[in-house]
Amino acid sequence: MLSIIRRFGFFSGRIPGYYYSLLLGLVYGYLVLFGLLYSFIRKGPGWFFKRKRRGTWPGCMDNEELGKHGFLRINNLKLHYVAAGDRSKPLMLFLHGFPECWYSWRHQMKAFSVNYRCVALDMRGFGESDRPSGKESYRMEVLVDDVKASISALGYSSCTLVGHDWGSVIAYTCCSWYPDIVDKVIIINGPHPSRYFEVLKTNPTQFLKAWYIFFFQIPLLPEFALSVGDFPVFKNLFKNIDLTDEQVEVYKYSMSRPGAISAQINYYRGLLTSSSSSWLHKDIVVNTPTLLIWGVNEEAMVMDVTKGLKKYLTNVSKQYVDAGHCVQQEKPSDVNRLMKEFLEE
């Protein structure tokens, strides 16, 4: 399959990669349909159509030790955030990944709010933030501009930027396009976009691991598949993290908001829009001091995405942790220690 994709110009400038992604998405869609049918037969209609009503967020989100809730109004958008620490301190801005929310940074908020003004966003489409419709609302240019505008709206000219998963991709790009607004950047299990697409086109294992990116390009079915059985995606995502039922409810609540599933999937759909093609084909070079923390038990990406980074990251320190994708939640003490050492350099 990989040789066929190479031959017909997948992610090349000759033929738009979107149409091939959509074709692959249809193939994976049929496989997902078979999986859903199997789940229906094995677990029954009671499990299959189970969907809990969630009108209010779980009480653990109101923990004052984590910070205070607030809203920013930027770019005709309302963004929810939680902030901790004195306003006179330097800004540390946290960007979460898919399919999470601000709560993923609770351990780091506690640890660094003594020396920083820590702000964890619900990025557009997530949690209590607005959820504009259409994949064009989730292009990289839009997502980066949200970060830039948020820093200004919070009363700062620059920040220490911390990103995980999708938040990391946005953080890398923000540093490349607007280096003056980021003092240091900390990346946690997030691939550098230029390196990721290099590996995707040459490594068959990574190509197969990226199946969900293609699956998310098709309409409707991804939304349905994620909600079947009341969001079982979180059971696998957090399998190595000691979370209470109430804490898992935080993420289910975030994804169950009206229009939230489509909005969050649109991050992937916006990635391959025709207006994003120029971004995909440009090298994202970051000169900002960078710390890359990587959980070596990552399931969605091969280790090669953490190698060959020197041409993209001119000032990078890499640290590996015996953990999975959500390393900042699985091994918070290790992550906090590495962050602290990097910030004190």
Mind telling me the catalytic residues? 165, 268, 325
Cβ pair 21, 201 in contact under 8 A? no
Dump the DSSP string for 46-65: HHHT------S--GGGG-TT
Could you give the angle at the alpha carbon of 237 between the alpha carbons of 79 and 161, nearest 5°?
Answer: 40
Whole-angstrom distance, CA of residue 197 vs CA of residue 280: 8
Centroid of chain to Cα 303? 18
Whole-angstrom distance, CA of residue 345 vs CA of residue 339: 10
Dump the DSSP string for 87-144: TTSPEEEEE--TT--GGGGHHHHHHHTTTSEEEEE--TTSTTS----SGGGG-HHHHH
Neighbours of 203 (CB within 10 A): 17
* Among 168, 80, 156, CA closest to 123: 80
CA dist 204 → 9, 43, 199, 309, 330 (Å): 16, 33, 9, 20, 28
Residue corresponding to tokens 């939680």: 82
Whole-angstrom distance, CA of residue 326 vs CA of residue 324: 6
Whole-angstrom distance, CA of residue 225 vs CA of residue 241: 23
Dump the DSSP string for 256-311: HSTTHHHHHHHHHHHHTSGGGHHHHTS---B-S-EEEEEETT-SSS-GGGGSS-TT
Give, for 317, the enclosing helix (H) or strand (E): strand 316-321
